[in-house]
Amino acid sequence: MPPENSVQSQWYREYLQPHEPMLRGWLQNRFANRIDVDDIVQESLLRVLKAKEVNDIKSPKAFFFATARNLALDVMRRSKVVQFDSLTENELSNVLDDAESVPESIARNQELEILTKAIQSLPSKCRRIFTLRKVYCMSQLDIAKKLGISVNTVATQLKIGVKKCSAFMHEHSHR
């Protein structure tokens, strides 16, 4: 999707286009067949480019991914609302009974916060490899190619990352 003006086109080629394949893979992996990945990517590109016209975007890749994630979640929410409308009163009470309780939700959010801190505590190379694998779902081979390192180094750094994150979470969740 080439933007109209040359400045915008250059910005798109430099800051967004290189991340499209990774975003598509992440969306496909995360949302499977529940969304139209092409539509989400296209709409995300449009929104990011419109936002760029108004404000300077400090982290285009993060903004691109966050925009796509939010759009995908909106699509999911809308599909659930449609499904909700078709439920009978009996079915609706069963759905509501299965919902996550407030204490469970708080506990899950606290665990996510600890996990985020655990990942942030990793050495930078290990953190980058861990994030590419666990957040962006890249294969070890693709990570090795992207970073110009061996697959063995990727595997070793992942083991270190998992071990350190587990220890961090164990230490901080029992306080």
Indicate whether 108 and 95 sit together in one domain.
no
Tokens at 79, concatenated:
């599909």
Domain span including residue 125: 100-175
Read off the pTM.
Answer: 0.47
Q: Which ranges of 5-123 does DSSP label H, i.e. alpha helix?
A: 6-11, 20-31, 37-54, 60-85, 89-97, 102-120
Q: Over the stretch 140-152, which tens digit does the pLDDT of each residue have?
A: 999 999 999 999 9
What pLDDT does 96 receive? 43
111 compared with 3, residue with greater pLDDT = 111
What pLDDT does 89 receive? 47
Indicate whether 127 and 44 sit together in one domain.
no
Indicate whether 5 and 54 sit together in one domain.
yes
Indicate whether 74 and 109 sit together in one domain.
no
95 compared with 5, residue with greater pLDDT = 5
Instruction: Give the residue carrying structure tokens 């109209």.
Output: 4
Q: Over the stretch 80-114, which tens digit does the pLDDT of each residue have?
A: 654 444 444 444 444 444 445 566 666 667 777 88
C-alpha pair distances (Å), 118 with each of 96, 143, 151, 164: 33, 21, 23, 8
Indicate whether 27 and 112 sit together in one domain.
no
